[in-house]
């Protein structure tokens, strides 16, 4: 499937795409690309940031204090950098 085919069949009627990536340029590029075909896009720089601001009406629980509680298999990378 080409990008044009995907864009023409995309469910753009108000659908929101959540982009989580630690690279700001990747977030911006995806935001522009997805926005150009009609999606609303919200970007986050980390899983923690996303989980700290769960989308309204989602199954993400705002009662969770950490991503590890929300997703037991979540294991953040070492912050040795």
| Assigned domain for 75 exists | no
**Does pLDDT of 9 surpass 80?**
no
Closest CA to 69 of 49, 53, 48, 55: 48
Length of the chain: 81
Looking at the 3D structure of the chain, how many domains does it have?
1
| Assigned domain for 3 exists | no
20 is written with which tokens?
């989580």
15-63 pLDDT per residue, tens: 889 999 999 999 999 999 999 988 999 999 999 999 888 777 665 544 4
| Assigned domain for 45 exists | yes
**Structural domain that includes position 50:** 13-70
pLDDT of residue 73: 56
23 is written with which tokens?
């690279």
**Does pLDDT of 11 surpass 90?**
no
Closest CA to 18 of 9, 46, 73: 46
Closest CA to 33 of 48, 21, 49: 21
| Assigned domain for 31 exists | yes
Please give the Cα distance from 24 to 62 (Å, whole number): 25
| Assigned domain for 32 exists | yes
| Assigned domain for 2 exists | no
């Amino acid at each position: 499937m080409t990008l044009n085919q995907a864009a023409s069949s995309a469910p753009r009627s108000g659908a929101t795409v959540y982009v989580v990536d630690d690279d700001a340029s990747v977030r911006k590029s995806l935001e522009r690309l997805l926005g150009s075909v009609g999606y609303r896009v919200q970007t986050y720089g980390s899983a923690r940031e996303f989980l700290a601001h769960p989308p309204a009406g989602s199954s993400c629980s705002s009662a969770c204090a950490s991503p590890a509680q929300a997703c037991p298999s979540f294991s953040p990378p070492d912050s040795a950098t």
